[in-house]
């Protein structure tokens, strides 16, 4: 049972968080370190003149400040550091009627005039207590002149004055103020302690409560006991006098832990039905950020359980039902699939800040989770372009044990779906994945063109090496990686991690080794010199008639200065696979007559 005293209601309703506010050090939960420091200083008579309590909202800073005030002014010395709660001073402080304990809201009294008024009253002796105590909440909201005016008082206060400053953002308090206070940090209250406290409150109030519902309230409170009691007070009327999972779901909207557990199970066994569960949660008002965070925690717990066994569940803040769900569900997931789901959800958290539409984000979420779906453990794929998806798109193909073949080794393995007939080389997908991620995340300026070329590529582990596939519209990336300097830089990075493992770049049916050697077919094609973009453009059907009007120069005749410049320009453009888009003749104003369509790269 809770051993605190209820505040006098005076004929009106008092909210739960006020009725069950801790009144003694022994009733404070989740702040053992702060309570221990204050207890020892009180028992040894070594209290200081200024304290700074910092921590998240609703974790007990103001409540502990009031308990400290009662302990400093308690007239019953038999209780030691613990206030008796029965003397006149303790009763007055509990009711908020003590003239010697002044609570100030720093957010609404933040100016220098308010601090000057405070300084004028500090020197006055206490009315009926031993100490005059000033509790300043949200002290970081004071202005700089107000802090400067308070500084001298904190440095040399009267012997009867004690300052207790409370803040949620200690970094905003000037260091000159912090250095004159004993800084006591507070932390978020563990969910297990909050759920236990809520159960005790429900027991004392005579309210039936389900364990899973209390755990969900504790999770929603995010370490704040005050928020948890406020949510409990709202859930009681929704549940018609009881606290159930259904009433908590109605209160907090979609995205609760229980709903996301149902979604995970449905997505694993029946993906078509899981989509309706996800959209229903969104229609209840749940934000995508909350859904992604809830799913991330579930997959994190599954991954921990799958990696290290059931003993790890004791270290997680989970109810009995949630532990049972994890134990049952983990049987259907592979460690690799769970890791892919976590990576996808972590990327989603970054995209949530971009302001993308909810239905688009829902589609990205489903696509990302399908990567780690149990049914696809042996074929992990990712179709999202760009570094966010390509950096982890290492696809594994089940390669059978090769048999001896009579076909020549030089036969192209990528023509019409043929398999690699070279001797197999052991390929470790995890090593390839690490190499690819490190390359894509490299900050080395020498790797910039390599990263740009490979940013939209997809990697597959095949028999004898790995293949880097470029999409049909990514000819530019394929041409860029084939440049000698880029191939050389890629090989330098590859050899550090993959050694001599073969790497092949492919676009449609055209392939090249990372070492720069083209892959010949069984019947090698005739060598045709690469034409410059200018020459290729002349062979287009719609330019044949125009080209006839300008016959080429006879063989052996030296080119004019204009022809030499034109040839040099063609050669430079050919280095990058470019195309001339506009030709402006001398004396022409618009140059529109010389405009011809082309592509940036061929």
Q: Which residue has the higher pLDDT, 197 or 274?
A: 197
d(C-alpha 85, C-alpha 4), whole Å? 10
**What is the average per-residue pLDDT within 317-343?**
89
So what's the pLDDT on residue 315?
A: 82
Cβ 203 vs Cβ 195: under 8 Å: no
177 contacts: CB under 8 Å, gap ≥ 6: 52, 139, 147, 150, 151, 154, 165
So what's the pLDDT on residue 169?
A: 94
Burial class (CB in 10 A: 0-12, 13-18, 19+), 300: middle
pLDDT tier for residue 389 given thresholds of 50, 70 and 90: very low
What 3-state DSSP class applies to 527?
A: coil
d(C-alpha 9, C-alpha 17), whole Å? 13
Tell the residue number behind the tokens 């009315």, with chain if given.
127
Return the top range by mean pLDDT from 262-276, 359-373, 418-432, 536-550. 262-276
pLDDT tier for residue 137 given thresholds of 50, 70 and 90: very high
Indicate the pTM of the whole model: 0.58
Looking at residue 134, the DSSP 8-state letter turns out to be E
pLDDT exceeds cutoff 80 at 520: no
The answer regarding whether domain 31-185 maps to CATH 3.40.50.300 reads yes
d(C-alpha 570, C-alpha 562), whole Å? 12
Say how many CA atoms lie within 13 Å of 525 toward its Cβ. Answer: 8
Average pLDDT, the chain: 76
Closest among 58, 16, 20, 64 to 227, alpha carbons compared:
58
Question: Of the ranges 59-63, 104-108, 229-233, 359-363, which one carries the lowest mean pLDDT score?
Answer: 359-363
pLDDT tier for residue 558 given thresholds of 50, 70 and 90: low
pLDDT exceeds cutoff 50 at 310: yes
Q: Do the first three CATH levels of 31-185 and 257-377 match, i.e. the same topology?
A: no
Q: Which residue has the higher pLDDT, 111 or 509?
A: 111
Chain centroid offset of residue 385 CA: 20
pLDDT tier for residue 397 given thresholds of 50, 70 and 90: very low
Q: What is the pLDDT of residues 419-475, one digit of tens each?
A: 333 334 456 777 788 888 888 888 788 888 888 888 878 887 777 688 888 887 788
**What is the average per-residue pLDDT within 202-209?**
92
Domain layout of the chain by residue ranges: 31-185, 257-377, 388-399+411-513, 533-594
So what's the pLDDT on residue 207?
A: 92
Closest among 276, 299, 278, 298 to 288, alpha carbons compared:
278
Paired sense of beta strands 465-470 and 458-462, if any: antiparallel
Q: What is the pLDDT of residues 139-163, one digit of tens each?
A: 999 999 999 989 988 988 898 999 9
Report the 10 Å Cβ neighbour count for 551: 7
The helix (H) or strand (E) run that includes residue 505 is: strand 502-507
d(C-alpha 130, C-alpha 153), whole Å? 19
209 contacts: CB under 8 Å, gap ≥ 6: 198, 199, 202, 242, 243, 244
Name the CATH code of domain 257-377 (choices 1.10.10.60, 1.10.1740.10, 1.20.272.10, 3.30.565.10).
Answer: 1.20.272.10
So what's the pLDDT on residue 436?
A: 84
**What is the average per-residue pLDDT within 470-481?**
83
Q: Which residue has the higher pLDDT, 59 or 365?
A: 59
């Amino acid at each position: 049972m809770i051993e605190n005293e209820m505040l006098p209601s005076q004929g009106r309703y008092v909210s739960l968080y006020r009725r069950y506010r801790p009144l003694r050090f022994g009733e404070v939960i989740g702040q053992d370190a702060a309570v221990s420091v204050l207890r020892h200083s009180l028992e040894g008579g070594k209290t200081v003149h200024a304290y700074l309590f910092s921590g998240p909202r609703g974790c007990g800073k103001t409540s502990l400040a009031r308990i400290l005030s009662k302990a400093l002014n308690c007239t019953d010395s038999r209780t030691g550091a613990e206030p008796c709660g029965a003397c006149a001073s303790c009763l007055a402080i509990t009711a908020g009627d003590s003239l010697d304990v002044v609570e100030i809201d720093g957010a609404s009294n933040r100016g220098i005039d308010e601090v000057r008024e405070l300084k004028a009253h500090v020197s006055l002796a206490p009315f009926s207590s031993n100490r005059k105590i000033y509790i300043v909440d949200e002290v970081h909201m004071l202005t700089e002149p107000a802090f400067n005016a308070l500084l001298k008082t904190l440095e040399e206060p009267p012997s009867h004055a004690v300052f207790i400053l409370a803040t949620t953002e200690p970094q905003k308090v000037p260091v000159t103020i912090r250095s004159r206070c004993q800084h006591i940090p507070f932390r978020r209250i563990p969910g297990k302690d909050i759920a236990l406290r809520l159960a005790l409150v429900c027991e004392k109030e005579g309210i039936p409560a389900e364990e899973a519902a209390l755990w969900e309230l504790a999770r929603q409170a995010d370490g704040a006991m005050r928020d948890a009691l406020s949510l409990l007070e709202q859930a009681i009327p929704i549940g018609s006098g009881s606290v159930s999972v259904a009433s908590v779901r109605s209160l907090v909207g979609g995205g609760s832990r229980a709903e996301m557990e149902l979604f995970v199970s449905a997505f694993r066994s029946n993906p078509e039905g899981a989509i309706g569960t996800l959209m229903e949660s969104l229609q209840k008002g749940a934000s995508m950020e909350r859904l992604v965070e809830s799913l991330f925690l579930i997959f994190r717990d599954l991954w921990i359980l799958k990696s290290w066994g059931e003993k790890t569940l004791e270290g997680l803040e989970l109810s009995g039902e949630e532990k049972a769900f994890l134990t049952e569900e983990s049987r259907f997931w592979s460690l690799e699939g769970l890791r892919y789901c976590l990576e996808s959800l972590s990327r989603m958290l970054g995209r949530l800040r971009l302001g993308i539409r909810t239905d688009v984000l829902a589609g990205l979420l489903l696509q990302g989770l399908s990567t780690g779906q149990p049914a696809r453990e042996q074929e992990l794929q990712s179709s999202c372009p760009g570094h966010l998806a390509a950096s982890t798109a290492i696809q594994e193909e089940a390669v059978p044990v090769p048999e001896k073949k009579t076909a020549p080794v030089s036969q192209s393995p990528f023509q019409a779906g043929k398999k690699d007939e070279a001797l197999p080389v052991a390929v470790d997908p995890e090593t390839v994945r690490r190499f690819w991620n490190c390359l894509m995340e490299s900050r080395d300026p020498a790797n910039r063109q390599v990263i740009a070329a490979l940013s939209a590529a997809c990697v597959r582990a095949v028999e004898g090496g790995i293949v880097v596939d470029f999409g049909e519209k990514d000819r530019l990336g394929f041409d860029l990686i084939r440049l000698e300097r880029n191939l050389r830089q890629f090989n330098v990075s590859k050899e550090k991690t993959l050694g001599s493992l073969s790497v092949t770049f492919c676009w449609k049916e055209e392939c090249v080794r990372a070492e720069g050697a083209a892959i010949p077919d069984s019947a090698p094609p005739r060598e045709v010199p690469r034409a410059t973009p200018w020459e290729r453009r002349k062979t287009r059907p719609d330019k044949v008639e125009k080209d006839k009007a300008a016959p080429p120069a006879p063989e052996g005749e030296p080119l004019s200065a204009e022809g030499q410049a034109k040839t040099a320009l063609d050669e430079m453009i050919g280095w990058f696979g470019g195309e001339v888009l506009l030709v402006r003749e001398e004396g022409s104003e618009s140059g529109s007559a010389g405009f011809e369509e082309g592509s940036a790269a061929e």
